[in-house]
């Protein structure tokens, strides 16, 4: 018999052995994760029950740093155990107690997204919301006599996670409003307008819908002021203020909104008058000027330029050939 044939048969038997063993393999059972000798997540106890008890003992004794590591070791080593959500909660709590609030927020978020029970969900959402507020109002870069500066936009991803994880919670409407407010404070006005609109449409019956409507109008006014020649921006700001006043006539901000409306009305009148004046004085197009003056007088009958526009219309009208007078 050929040497190569014997080698081939021997190799076939060798390959077939593990296949038969694979077919009879047992269902997966979670065991302790194998850690390298230098791993920071090596558990101090041999079961998740004992590890949880050890972590809680460290926490109750005030050794929060070691408790944090112990809780994390349990979550990493036995993620499918019934003790894992409790350990994840303890991990977030110990980080929170150590003043590492942003890291705690992420661990609270991991708890809410990875585990479905075993912890007080509403309390977790509330704590996340409180941390997001703290981040929004926190001053950074404090040095000697300088008070530092705020970076409210850093809180936006945190508020977004609150809304995403608990869109029907008691904090969702306010969190969505604060997303817009954070963008407005950080001068990202276009994003503020979108966030405020989202709050208005998602939570129309919430008290935060009113504040979102006013914030939207305020942001659109500022955008129109940054682009004074943009008629569309001016019209959008005007419409937002009118919508706000019609929807919330008894609001505590109604007086300020009325002042905004009057100022916008004057700006819109001046813009329309300037357009007619351009056709009249610059372009020398009498027919277009008369038509623009007529539109202006009809739309703004009580403006400070209305009398001037009427007088100029009377001067130009005889110079404009009527279409049916040939």
Domain 43-119 matches domain 149-251 at the CATH topology level:
yes
What average pLDDT does the segment 38-61 reach?
A: 90
CA distance 258 to 264: 10
Least-confidence region, from 10-19, 111-120, 152-161, 257-266: 10-19
Least-confidence region, from 105-114, 266-275, 310-319: 310-319
pLDDT given for residue 317 in this prediction: 87
CA distance 88 to 112: 10
Least-confidence region, from 23-37, 99-113, 140-154, 202-216: 23-37
Q: Which residue has the higher pLDDT, 236 or 28?
A: 236
CATH 3.40.50.1820 fits 149-251, yes or no: no
Q: Would you say residue 30 has pLDDT above 80?
A: no
Q: Would you say residue 58 has pLDDT above 70?
A: yes
CA distance 199 to 244: 14
Q: Would you say residue 274 has pLDDT above 60?
A: yes
**CATH of span 43-119:** 1.25.40.10
Structure tokens at 257: 């909104």
pTM of structure = 0.80
What average pLDDT does the segment 131-141 reach?
A: 87
- The domains of the chain are located at 43-119, 149-251, 270-326
Q: Would you say residue 303 has pLDDT above 70?
A: yes
User: What residues form DSSP beta bridges with 150?
Assistant: 139
């Amino acid at each position: 018999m050929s040497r190569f044939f014997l080698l081939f048969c021997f190799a076939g038997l060798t390959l077939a052995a593990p296949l038969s063993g694979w077919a009879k393999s047992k269902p997966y059972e979670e065991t302790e994760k194998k850690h390298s000798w230098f791993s920071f997540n090596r558990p101090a106890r041999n079961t998740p029950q004992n590890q949880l008890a050890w972590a809680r003992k460290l926490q109750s004794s005030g050794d929060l740093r070691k408790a944090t590591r112990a809780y994390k070791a349990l979550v990493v080593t036995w993620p499918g155990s019934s003790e894992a959500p409790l350990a994840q909660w303890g991990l977030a709590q110990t980080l929170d107690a150590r003043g590492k609030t942003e890291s705690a927020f992420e661990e609270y978020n991991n708890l809410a997204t990875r585990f479905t029970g075993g912890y007080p969900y509403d309390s977790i959402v509330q704590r996340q919301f409180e941390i997001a507020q703290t981040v929004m109002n926190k001053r950074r870069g404090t040095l000697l006599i300088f008070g530092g500066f705020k970076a409210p936009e850093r809180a936006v991803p945190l508020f977004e996670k609150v809304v995403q994880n608990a869109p029907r919670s008691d904090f969702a409407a306010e969190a969505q409003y604060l997303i817009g407010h954070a963008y407005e404070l950080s001068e990202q006005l276009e994003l503020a307008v979108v966030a405020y609109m989202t709050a208005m449409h998602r939570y129309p019956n919430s008290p935060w819908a009113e504040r979102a409507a006013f914030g939207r109008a305020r942001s659109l006014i500022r955008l129109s002021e940054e682009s004074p020649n943009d008629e569309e921006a001016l019209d959008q700001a005007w419409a937002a203020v009118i919508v706000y006043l019609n929807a919330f006539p008894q609001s505590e901000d109604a007086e300020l909104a009325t002042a905004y409306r009057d100022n916008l009305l004057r700006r819109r009148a001046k813009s329309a008058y300037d357009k007619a004046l351009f056709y009249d004085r610059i372009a020398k197009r009498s027919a277009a000027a008369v038509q623009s003056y007529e539109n202006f007088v009809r739309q703004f009958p009580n403006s400070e330029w209305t009398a001037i526009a009427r007088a100029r219309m009377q001067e130009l009208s005889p110079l404009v050939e009527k279409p049916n007078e040939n």
